[in-house]
Amino acid sequence: MSSNFLSHQDFAVLTSSPALDIQDVYDKFVELHGALYRRMRNHDWDLHPNWDKNTMIVGRSAASSSNFVGLSMPYLRSREQAQLVERLMGRDSLAIPATADVHRHPVIELRMTPEHLTVELVLSPTAWWDQRNLIGKLSVMRHREAFRHLLQRMDGDYRFGFWDGIHLSDAHLTNRQLLRGSILEEWMSTFSDGQDWLRVGVWYEPDHPALNASTLVGELAQRVGALNDLYQFMLWTSNNNFHSFYKGYIPSSNGKDTRL
């Protein structure tokens, strides 16, 4: 018998129709979220689940513009912060919904599909306000160095890329690959706000030993902690505002910025 909190059968029933089986997996996922979120609060991370009472998102992910088969839980900025950002993006306050639009903000997402359990930081093209903040921040050499340092502290299991969708794309790099030479700078020089997705995360297959019931919550909390450092680096706030630096600069590995 598997000692994993989520069994092979749990992953498989996401594509099946019996409501009872799906409800059992849903309940497990809610339990996992609850245990993980308690750890997050203990660390005082400024991350919040979706704001309405029906916090679980089924069939919708920050990593995709279309529906998917599975379960996901986003963690993002507070409702008040999100409303402020969306007003700065030009949205009418009355048009801002009571539940979070996870595509307009950086999101750390816990996601379960038939193939993987994933914990991932996602910045979609619709979150262009924060994308521009990141581009502006990376135009400053010392912040590029800080960004590289954050990635160096993360192990090689993280997958980094610009694709859209819930499935792991072949067009990704691991952290170890990304940090070789000037690859990071070359990749980020191709990043275009409002057009590209930016994502980094860890993907666990159903038989991965990290899914063991006794270690899973600690494992995920460690991953969220590392992603939270990146999240806080790129997140626009009044104290982390680099929009005035957003002028179409391309970050360069030699310390000299090229203007578009």
Give CA–CA dist 260/247, Å, rounded. Answer: 8
**pLDDT higher than 80, residue 258:** no
CA angle 24, 26, 28 (to 5 degrees): 70
> Is there a contact between 116 and 168 (Cβ–Cβ < 8 Å)?
yes
What does the pLDDT average to over 224-231? 97
pLDDT digits over 74-88, tens only? 999 998 898 899 889
Question: If one looks up domain 8-259 in CATH, what number appears?
Answer: 3.30.930
Instruction: Pull the structure tokens for residue 86.
Output: 């969306």
What does the pLDDT average to over 112-124? 95
**pLDDT higher than 70, residue 252:** no
pLDDT digits over 119-128, tens only? 999 999 999 9
Please report which confidence band the pLDDT of residue 91 belongs to, taking 50, 70 and 90 as the band edges: confident
pLDDT score for 223: 97
| pTM over 0.85, yes/no | yes
